[in-house]
Amino acid sequence: MIAAAYHPELFPMERVWWLYGLFLLMILGSLFLDMRRRNGNEHEIGHREALCNLLLWVSLALLFCGGLYFYGLHVFPQDPRLVGYDPSVLAKQCSLEFLSGWLVEKSLSIDNLFIFLVVFDFFAIPPKYRHKILFYGILGAIVFRALFIALGSVLMQISWVPLVFGVFLAITGLKVAFGPESHPDPAHNVLLRLLKKFLPISPGLHDGKFLIRESGRLIGTPLLLTLIFIEFTDIVFAVDSVPAIFAITKEPFIVFTSNIFAILGLRALFFILAGMASKFHYLKYGLGFILCFVGLKMFWLDPHFHGHFPTVWSLGIIVTALAMAAFFSWLLPLKKEVAEG
């Protein structure tokens, strides 16, 4: 059997387009059911409800991971392009790459959630409307991630692009770990200032509507501004996160599905972490290390390991980095936390 490092694309679009369609139908269907269940009943999400939703999406992601493995065991032996390859090795590699990509995206998104907190506070959005904004924000994120991943899959075919992506991720990782902490300021955002020139903005929330009509004019609300800024933040965030997953797998299908599953759990994770942001003060070092590692993997480790650094090792390194960041955040609390305790 041939080693799994050198193999054709396992999920080419022309062969598995139906898998993409089925996956999107499942995701959009679940979001539609969630919207129908609420049916305009906006309320503040409690920790118990958020935890149940998070466990649901984590369980679905793990089930999908197992499904990838069994799909590979069934389909790969019948693929004439994969004759000579060990289907069990390829199936295991797919599931581990999905798990690693999902975990990287999920861990990187934690820092993004803290930015959401700043944005909600800036626009004075009550807790009961935050779920609605995050719901529509996720719909927009799915579209933009699909475009980013499609572009990334094309760029990754160019020989020097992995080197550029790898160096970019490594530099970003150093900046995250050792640079000053800064968050985008909505007050100085060019996009929002341009929007206000063309669309009047009402200071009122108007029962959680994004747009209203007054005297025949279309007027935006603070919820619309918040949604646009969160979408803008996610696009900026995707510049780091999408190349990070391409450093783990070259399969666009795995990049897309792991990315979307990680995004879908963001709403629940946000409400769980909303009051715990300050307790993860060492998280930035863990995230910085992960970005440096995947960047190093992309431009240096992969070529030295016959084109693919072992996925099991990558997963172990990522989990260890996150565990160490959480452990030291617990072991060495900030002086402010100690004083409050």
Any domain includes 4 = no
- pLDDT digits 0-9 by tens, 74-85: 999 999 888 888
Of residues 56 and 233, more confidently modeled: 56
Determine the Cα–Cα distance for residues 102 and 73; give it in Å rounded to an integer: 21
**5: in domain:** no
**What pLDDT score does 41 carry?**
64
Q: Is residue 7 part of a domain?
A: no
3 inside domain: no
Residue 157 three-state SS: coil
pLDDT at 338: 45
**How many residues are recorded in the chain?**
341
pLDDT of residue 165 exceeding 80: yes
Q: Is residue 91 part of a domain?
A: yes
Q: Is the pTM of this model over 0.85?
A: no
Tell me the C-alpha distance between 134 and 116, whole Å. 9
Asked if residue 286 lies in contact with residue 127, where contact means CB atoms within 8 angstroms, the answer is: no
pLDDT digits (tens, 9 = 90+) for 12-49: 988 899 999 999 998 888 888 877 776 656 666 777 88
CA distances from 333 to 155, 194, 270, 279, 323 (A): 43, 42, 21, 7, 15
pLDDT confidence bin for 99, thresholds 50/70/90? very high
pLDDT of residue 206: 82
Q: For the chain, what is the domain count? A: 1
Q: Can you tell me whether residue 143 is helix, strand or coil?
A: helix
Q: What is the pLDDT of residue 6?
A: 57
Residue 6 lies in a domain: no
Instruction: Please tell me which residue, 149 or 112, carries the higher pLDDT value.
Output: 149
Q: Please choose, from the candidates 190, 209, 204, 225, the residue with its C-alpha nearest in 3D space to the C-alpha of residue 40.
A: 209
Range of the domain at 24: 13-340
* Mean predicted confidence (pLDDT) in 142-159: 87
153 in a structural domain:
yes
The pLDDT of 139-158, averaged and rounded, is 87
pLDDT of residue 125: 86
Domain-located, residue 213: yes
